[in-house]
Amino acid sequence: MAKRTHFRRWRELSVPRRVLRTVLCVLLAVLIAALAYVAYVFIDYYRIEDNVTLSVEGSMTDADPARVGETYKAVTYNVGFGAYTPDYTFFMDGGKSSWAESKESVVETIQGAAQTVQELDPDLILLEEVDLDATRSYHVAQDALFSQSFADYCYDLAIDFDSPFLFYPFTQPHGKSLSALMTYSRLPITSALRRSLPISESLSKLVDLDRCYSVSRIPVENGRELVVYTVHLSAYGNSDAVREGQKRMLQEDMAGELALGNYVICGGDFNHNLLAAEDETDAESWAYPFPRSYLPEGMSFCLDLLDDTRRAALAPTTRNADIPYDPEQSLCLTVDGFLISDNIELVDYSTVDTGFRWSDHNPVMLTFRLLQQ
């Protein structure tokens, strides 16, 4: 009888012990997996070196140089990795989604963006957030789709996002991303360079964009060069030091080209509110004002060359993707645009109001002429 009682007590004690042992094993497995993931992220992380020479692909590499006095058009468009249909919301903006709706949606959106640009018939095309191979866009090679649409252009490509697999949000991990800036030109690009921008040195750098800009050189008939900068500056609450460092680097680089007498165009997504007063205190963390003191002498935002009436009539260039696009409720700002040097004449400037049909950004178009020097 005593043996049976002892066995019963042993069984009663062994059940919670087995449960506890199982729980501890699960927790240990989770801890090992977490440590392995952290190790993977650190091992996989790298920054692309500064001053990387980019290859120039496509046709038109042997076309005639740019001509003084001739009218040209340039378009800049952040295509939002093919995800941003009007009803799309993004988790980093306070929305829900981490991936595009579907592979078919990505293809349709990129093709729609390409057709929008084609109809504008530009000589220069500056694209941001073009995914080459990314979980979030179902591994659609968007650069190939654009190159099919812009077959009569030459182009260069600068990687600005090569992240390890991001296990967040947990319900739909953002995954691994390989993304780029692209510059297309009907004028010959003789050389191109990738410049690495300053970024945060905190742990956020492990999963953030490898911010950069590209510099594409186009010969001009008078012996000068038209130097085209395609930029995508930092967003999402980076420090004042990072924002200032990026603007200062860009300023010094453009100043060097101006000193050589070259023509300079800088376009893209500046991730700053280009219409905000410099002393604005309630700015969005992803769209601070852009102080004009960071521009080198001889460079101007095209927006600043417009009169008040024309500037006020422009459609905004981006929407916050915390909610589906609603013209009455969505926060919309102007963060995309162009800078030009004083030796370039501004002929026309407009935001192409697509209703954010193909991206959370609208294209911006610049019409210009190179002036005789």
Q: Which pLDDT value is given to residue 68?
A: 98
First to last CA, the chain: 111
- Note the pLDDT of residue 202: 63
Distance CA 53, CA 50 (A): 9
DSSP characters over 57-78: EES-TTSPPB-TT-EEEEEEEE
C-alpha 279 chain-centroid distance: 26
Q: Which pTM was predicted?
A: 0.91
Report residue 196 as tokens: 């690495």
Q: Could you identify the residue written with the tokens 């010959």?
A: 188
CB atoms within 10 A of CB 23: 10
CATH architecture of 48-370: 4-Layer Sandwich (3.60)
- Per residue of the chain (373 residues), what is the pLDDT tens digit? 555 555 555 455 565 677 777 777 777 777 776 676 566 566 666 678 999 999 999 877 678 999 999 999 999 999 999 999 999 999 989 999 999 999 999 999 999 999 999 999 999 999 999 999 999 999 999 999 999 999 999 999 999 988 888 888 888 888 899 999 999 999 999 999 999 999 877 655 555 667 999 999 999 999 999 999 999 998 865 678 889 999 999 999 999 999 999 999 999 999 999 999 887 777 777 789 999 999 999 999 999 999 999 999 999 999 999 999 999 999 999 999 999 999 999 999 999 999 999 999 999 999 999 999 8
Q: With contact defined as beta carbons under 8 Å apart, do 63 and 190 qualify?
A: no
